[in-house]
């Protein structure tokens, strides 16, 4: 094929995890970069465009999802390419700095861009003399970079420095017209700081990305100071990807009747209600937990779900259950004990549904005006708390609530809030599961706290999570000890 070929890029977005995968082709031959585990989406694009898959590329060993790359490559007999130095338990092609492969009219060149991980690669795809595209994984993001603390706390600063230099290498070596296609940065906790925009070129990033506009020391200090806790399930992802994960099994789990739902609850399992927060508050299975599948479902459920806990999904429709199952499979939660579609009357078979109390920040303001000693719990993350919280609130992040619920009086009306109402809904339902019958869900955006007349203050969080190291002002990194990977399988 001639140099007139232009790399064509198809985006496979996964908003629930804040990531993107990419299918790059010349009209006949294709490569895939950073495939998610539910590879049916990529397969549909290959079929729709009549493409032959030649290679599947990984920019790094992922920490935020289980990869579908190996399964996709095996299905097509394609080359599976991982960064040199990564320890995996299956045969794969290893790419190092400068490694090149030809796919039809496309040339793919690997650049070693350590920072997000030590072995991280970016892939530059070109055709002829055109500037092409760079698939930067967790290196260069839109207005940011990938976080450097996922491997270990000890490597956070040196990897942040490597990240700055890697991004500068991309900016200096590539044509300004080169399109940038990162894997992370669309809400993923793998992003070091908030990203900006939905598309960019190298020239755009040269002008606006702090990694390219600030001195290295200032950039590294700001990056480390901006890191907050990442989801606990990240501890499972790297080991799963190193083992060689299979494709997602998306067959619906077994049906659950009222007796099996009750048995799951009695055994300490999790029954998750996928309906809206409003419907949940109006009536739900006693002991069920509220995780609206239309919100940031998988991040927060997988974060809070005890390892290996039996899980039953309740939805208003089969589509809600299928969506939840797909999202959970992406982070390796495969063992779903059952599902049921309907409403509380169906799930309880004549039993009495539970309800929960909802209010907004104006309602919280009225409660505090009547009784200034009214307990208030802030379930947001540490940097959110430090940026501003309701004066007098107790900070118990949602992911610590199970172990710290003893700090809340079960017989006193307690108001629970977060940033939008989503995490607070999960927190309130978790407390109700343990017999806290007087908890009030503040289902409102935190920005409305000031509008409601509540005093919002900033100060260092009184509770620091184990494993964190600290700069002079705030948290820099968090680490987790990986629990038994097999427990979720």
Mean pLDDT of 112-133: 95
Q: What number is the average pLDDT over the span 220-225? A: 94
The 3-class secondary structure across the chain, one letter per residue, is: CCCCCCCEEEEEEECCCCEEEEEEECCCEEEEECCECCCHHHHHHHHHHCCEEEEEECCCCCCCCCECHHHHHHHHCCEEEEECCCCCCCCCEEECCCCEEEECCEEEEEEECCCCCCCCEEEEEECCCCCCEEEEECCEECCEEECCCCCCCCCHHHHHHHHHHHHHHHHHHCCCCCEEEECCCCCCCCECCCCCCCCEEHHHHHHHCHHHHCCHHHHHHHHHHCCCCCCCCHHHHHHHHHHCCCCCCCCCCCECCHHHHHHHHHCCCEEEECCCHHHHHHCECCCCEECCCCCCHHHHHHHHCCCCCCEEEEECCHHHHHHHHHHHHHCCCCCCCEEEECCHHHHHCCCCCECCEEECHHHHHHHHHHCCCCCEEECCCHHHHHHCEECCCEECCHHHHHHHHHHCCCCCCEEEECCCCHHHHHHHHHHHHCCCCCEEEECCCCCHHHHCCCCEECCCCCCCCCCCEECCCCEEECCCCCCCHHHHC
Residue 423 reports pLDDT greater than 50:
yes
Both 264 and 404 in one domain: the answer is no
pLDDT at site 465 = 38
Domain region containing 319: 258-348
Check residue 298 and give its pLDDT.
96
For residue 272, give the nearest of 339, 331, 323 by alpha carbon: 339
> What CATH code is carried by the domain that includes residue 54?
3.60.15.10
The domain that contains 269 carries what CATH number?
3.40.250.10
Domain total in the chain: 3
Say yes or no to pLDDT of 2 above 60: no
- Whether 124 and 263 map to the same domain: the answer is no
Establish if 275 belongs to a structural domain.
yes
Q: Among residues 319, 321, 353, which one has the least CA distance to residue 340?
A: 321
Residue 129 pLDDT grade (very low, low, confident, very high; cuts 50, 70, 90): confident
Last residue of a domain, one of 300, 323, 348: 348
Beta bridge partners of 55: 31, 79
Q: Is residue 279 part of a domain?
A: yes
Evaluate whether residue 487 is within a structural domain.
no
> Which pLDDT score is estimated for 470?
27
Distance (Å, whole) CA 247 – CA 265:
30
- Do residues 95 and 178 share a domain? yes
**Residue-level pLDDT at 359:** 98
Strands 270-273 and 289-290: parallel
Rounded to whole angstroms, the Cα distance separating 224 from 218 reads 10
Is pLDDT of 196 > 90? no
High-pLDDT (> 70) share of the chain, %: 93
473 confidence band (pLDDT: 50, 70, 90): very low
Same domain (yes/no): 194, 342: no
For residue 381, being part of any structural domain is answered with yes
Q: Are residues 217 and 274 in the same domain?
A: no
Exposure string over 27-58, b if 16+ CB within 10 A, otherwise e: eebbbbbbbbbbbebbbebbeeeebebbbbbb
Task: Among 326, 348, 370, identify where a domain stops.
Answer: 348
Interval 286-312: pLDDT, tens: 999 999 999 999 999 999 999 889 999
Q: Is residue 476 part of a domain?
A: no
Please report whether residue 91 resides in a domain. yes
For residues 53 and 157, state if they share a domain. Answer: yes
Residues 338, 285: one domain? yes
Spatial separation of the C-alpha atoms in residues 32 and 67, rounded to whole Å? 12
Say whether both 176 and 314 belong to one domain: no
- How far, in whole angstroms, is CA 251 from its chain's centroid? 23
488 part of a folded domain? no
Q: What does the pLDDT average to over 408-424?
A: 96
Q: Are residues 335 and 370 in the same domain?
A: no
One domain for residues 32 and 76: yes
**Residue 16 near residue 298, CB atoms below 8 Å:** yes
Both 343 and 362 in one domain: the answer is: no
Q: Is the pLDDT of residue 480 over 50?
A: no
64 — pLDDT class (breaks 50, 70, 90): very high
Q: Does 114 map to a domain? A: yes
pLDDT number for residue 460 = 56
Instruction: Place 184 in a pLDDT band, splitting at 50, 70 and 90.
Output: very high
The pLDDT value given to residue 350: 82
pLDDT band at 323; cut points 50, 70, 90? very high
Identify the domain boundary among 348, 372, 392. Answer: 348
Q: Does residue 351 surpass a pLDDT of 90?
A: no
- 174 with 288, same domain: the answer is no
């Amino acid at each position: 094929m001639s140099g007139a070929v232009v790399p064509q890029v198809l985006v496979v977005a996964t908003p629930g995890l804040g990531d993107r995968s990419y299918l790059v082709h010349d009209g006949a031959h294709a490569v895939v970069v950073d495939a998610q585990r539910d590879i049916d989406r990529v397969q549909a694009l290959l079929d729709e465009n009549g493409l032959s898959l030649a290679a599947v590329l990984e920019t790094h060993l992922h920490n935020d999802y289980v990869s579908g790359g190996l399964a996709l490559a095996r299905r097509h007999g394609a080359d599976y390419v991982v960064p040199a130095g990564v320890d995996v338990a299956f045969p794969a092609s290893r790419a190092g700095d400068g490694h090149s492969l030809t796919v039809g009219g496309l040339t793919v060149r690997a650049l070693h861009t350590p920072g997000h991980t030590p072995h991280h690669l970016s892939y530059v795809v070109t055709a002829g003399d055109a500037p092409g595209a760079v698939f930067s994984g967790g290196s260069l993001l839109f207005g940011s970079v990938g976080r450097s603390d996922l491997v270990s706390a000890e490597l956070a600063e040196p990897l942040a420095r490597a990240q700055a230099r890697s991004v500068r290498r991309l900016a200096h070596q590539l044509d300004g017209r080169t399109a940038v296609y990162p894997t992370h940065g669309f809400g993923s906790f793998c992003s070091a700081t908030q990203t900006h925009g939905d598309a960019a070129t190298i020239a755009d990033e040269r002008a606006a990305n702090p990694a390219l506009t600030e001195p290295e020391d200032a950039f590294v200090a700001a990056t480390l100071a901006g890191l907050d806790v990442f989801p606990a399930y990240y501890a499972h992802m790297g080991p799963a990807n190193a083992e060689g994960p299979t494709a997602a099994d998306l067959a619906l789990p077994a049906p659950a009747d009222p007796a099996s739902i009750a048995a799951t609850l009695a055994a300490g399992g999790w029954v998750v209600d996928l309906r809206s927060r409003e419907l949940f508050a109006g009536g739900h299975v006693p002991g069920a937990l509220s995780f609206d599948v239309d919100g940031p479902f998988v991040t927060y459920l997988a974060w809070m779900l005890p390892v290996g806990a039996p899980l039953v999904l309740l939805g208003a429709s089969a589509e809600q259950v299928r969506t939840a199952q797909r999202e959970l499979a992406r982070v390796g939660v495969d063992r779903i004990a059952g599902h049921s579609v309907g409403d509380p009357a169906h799930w309880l078979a004549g039993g009495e549904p539970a309800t929960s109390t909802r209010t907004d920040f104006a309602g919280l303001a009225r409660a505090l005006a009547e009784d200034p000693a009214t307990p208030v719990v802030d379930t947001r993350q540490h940097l959110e708390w430090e940026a501003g919280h309701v004066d007098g609130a107790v900070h118990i992040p949602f992911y610590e609530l199970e172990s710290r619920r003893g700090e809340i009086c079960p017989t006193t009306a307690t108001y629970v809030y977060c940033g939008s109402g989503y995490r607070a809904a999960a927190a309130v339902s978790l407390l109700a599961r343990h017999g806290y019958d007087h908890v009030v869900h503040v289902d409102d955006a935190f920005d409305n706290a000031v509008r409601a007349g509540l005093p919002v203050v900033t100060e260092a969080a009184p509770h620091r999570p184990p494993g964190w190291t600290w700069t002079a002002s705030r948290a820099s990194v968090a680490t987790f000890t990986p629990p038994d990977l097999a427990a979720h399988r």
